[in-house]
Amino acid sequence: MKAVNNNGIITTYPDVPVKFKSSTGYHLNARSMTADELRNAGLFDVIIDENYDSRIHDLGEIYWDTAATVFRKDTIDKTWSQTLAELKEQKITNYKHITGSELAKTDWYIIRQTDNGETVPTEIVEARQLLRNQTTQVENEVNALTTKKQVILYDYPNYES
């Protein structure tokens, strides 16, 4: 990310823009400028803390870091209006929906068995049980978490399809 300060107004760009205006004037075809030319024109890097995680952080206002000659955006810890219990319930419910979708892929075996007694293949029965066991494990793991941040950062296990 890049930024320029034009008379107190900081403009950010995802990358070197085609053109930009700075306090030194208009700069056309900026992508062909060298790094030194860009800095001399006032276009500098924007540094974001390497620990930034959008799940648990917001970004603060952009500011000029004189010592490093770069713009910076610091991370700010997010706050959540939900209680810890509500976040846990939401995380578990979401996983149960995912599990339900995975189970739905093989529901037709169970329906066929119910309708006409046809045997469900053992690997299907075992895979469905594994999904249910995994859901119980996720529920236990989520319920053992003690902070909102831990719940937000909890990653579900991957399904093996």
Q: What are 86-114's pLDDT values in tens digits?
A: 999 999 999 999 999 999 999 999 999 99
Give counts: helices (H), strands (E), the chain: 5, 9
Task: Report how far residue 132's alpha carbon sits from residue 123's, in angstroms, rounded to the nearest whole number.
Answer: 14
With contact defined as beta carbons under 8 Å apart, do 142 and 88 qualify?
yes
| All residues at 6 or more sequence positions from 42 whose CB lies less than 8 Å from its CB, including other chains | 4, 5, 6, 22, 23, 24
Q: How far apart (Å, rounded) are the C-alpha atoms in residues 60 and 47?
A: 12
pLDDT of residue 63: 95
Distance from the Cα of residue 77 to its chain's centroid: 14
Neighbours of 96 (CB within 10 A): 13
Confidence band for 159, pLDDT divided at 50, 70 and 90: low
